[in-house]
Amino acid sequence: MRFFKDEAERRREFPVVENGIFLGHAGVTILPRRAADAIKAHAEASCHRHQEFGEVLRDVARTRLLCAKLIGAHADEIALLGPTSLGLSLFANGLDWQAGDEVLYYGDDYPANVYPWTALASRGVVATPLVPDQPGRITPELVEASLTARTKLVALASCHYLSGRRIDISAIGRMLRSKGVLFSLDAIQTLGAAPLDVEFVDFLSADAHKWMLGPMTMGIVFVGRRNFEKCRPTLLGAWNVKSPDFIAQNEIVFEETARRYEPGVLNIAGMYGMKASLEMLLEIGLENVQSGILESRDFLEEKLDHAGFEFLSPKANDPMRSGILTTRHPSVDSGTIFSRLEAAGVSASLRKSHCGKSWIRFSPHFYNNINEMTRVVEIMTWGSF
């Protein structure tokens, strides 16, 4: 899919392509030129004025609107917080748990979406792990079969960080809503890479430093209005507790919007970087972004399949696949192949599965192209196996 008028424009927008092939967006992304420029512009302006000069608060409001548009929410349901684990911990710690309440989670998920829920055992909460038949294969049927009368919340990731298998957010969320069970979503592995709607989601957290192409420690925390009173803020400060004229009051009264989860000053430099990247993604359209990602991902899978590689990820004909392609060769050490890629300027991720196998995880974005994927295959298969 064509996103740039020529290669020169692609290099201007994404300078990383001048230095190699970056396929690590499921880890920590590089920054597009416009995001870096936005951060630098704020830093430069802050040399001449204080960091919260007049236009900043207006841009905070504009960024909330962008984030809301990205996930189909209202701006007053958006808190501008990162990292992802901060939002997940706010949800876990802010709910009124009673001894014997249950939370469903996936024990082989990324640790940030495991520990906030298992730690609730100290409050008498029963944390029950889902056990799918394949890594990350969390189906609506599996979730429904695991519910009990005491299930208060289900905590899932929109996509498994290693296998790259997505969940059906709408189907799971609709089923949980019908049963009065809350739904928390760790969306960092799909937000910015594919369309996502929070109609049937109660809580969402996602930092910008992966598929949103933004900086670290700035992201999106969503709490549906209907849950403001259910999820009490556990971080308190002058920003989220009403303090007229900065004078502390005898009673704690929270802001009416999702600002109630923001205790103090925001990561404004990071906000400007995220804002610039989100404007670009929304301008292109998330459907188009997703198509571009999958085009590169599926091409890479096809060529590596022919070369004898095996995959932890869903195959190209699976609608639950994502931009993540996790692969290994059955007879060649993954670390050896990974070192070869690094030496050739290809950035990917070397990860281990729960059973101890090493895998190479590729995660291309929309600006990557087929020529780059062809080069990656050449590097991985050079000398034959």
**Residue 130 sits in the same domain as residue 186:** yes
Mean pLDDT of the 261-282 span: 97
pLDDT digits (tens, 9 = 90+) for 345-368: 999 999 999 888 999 999 999 999
pLDDT per residue as tens digits for the range 130-147: 999 999 999 999 999 999
69 and 188 assigned to the same domain: yes
Q: Looking at the structure, do residues 241 and 313 belong to the same domain, yes or no?
A: no
> What's the whole-number average pLDDT of the chain?
96
Domain that holds residue 233: 36-283
pLDDT at 1: 58
Number of compact structural domains in the chain: 2
Pair 350, 207 in one domain: no
In a domain, 31, yes or no: no
* pLDDT in the model for residue 204: 98
Q: Could you give the C-alpha distances from 274 to 46, 62, 135, 268, 333, in angstroms and in order?
A: 18, 12, 31, 10, 37
pLDDT band at 344 (very low <50, low <70, confident <90, very high): very high
How far is it, in rounded angstroms, from Cα 348 to Cα 1? 22
Predicted TM-score of the model (pTM) = 0.96
Whether residues 307 and 248 share a domain: the answer is no
For residues 203 and 317, membership in a common domain is answered with: no
* 25-49 mean pLDDT: 96
The reply to whether 60 and 111 lie within a common domain is yes
Decide which of 283, 298, 323 is a domain's last residue.
283
pLDDT of 248-262, one tens digit each? 999 999 999 999 999
pLDDT at site 333: 95
For every residue of 102-137, DSSP letters joined together read EEEEETTS-GGGTHHHHGGGGGT-EEEEE--SSTT-
180-193 CB burial, b ≥16 within 10 A, e <16: ebbbbbbbbbbbbb
Last residue of a domain, one of 238, 265, 283: 283
Work out the pLDDT band at 162, boundaries 50, 70, 90: very high
The per-residue pLDDT for 384 is 55
Mean predicted confidence (pLDDT) in 161-167: 98
Q: What is the pLDDT of residue 53?
A: 74
Is the same domain home to 64 and 192? yes
User: Over the stretch 295-337, which tens digit does the pLDDT of each residue have?
Assistant: 999 999 999 999 999 999 999 999 999 999 999 999 999 999 9
The helix/strand/coil state of 249 is: coil
Average the pLDDT over 42-58 and give the result.
89
Residue 364 confidence (pLDDT): 98
- Select from 236, 260, 283 the last residue of a domain: 283
240 and 140 co-located in one domain? yes
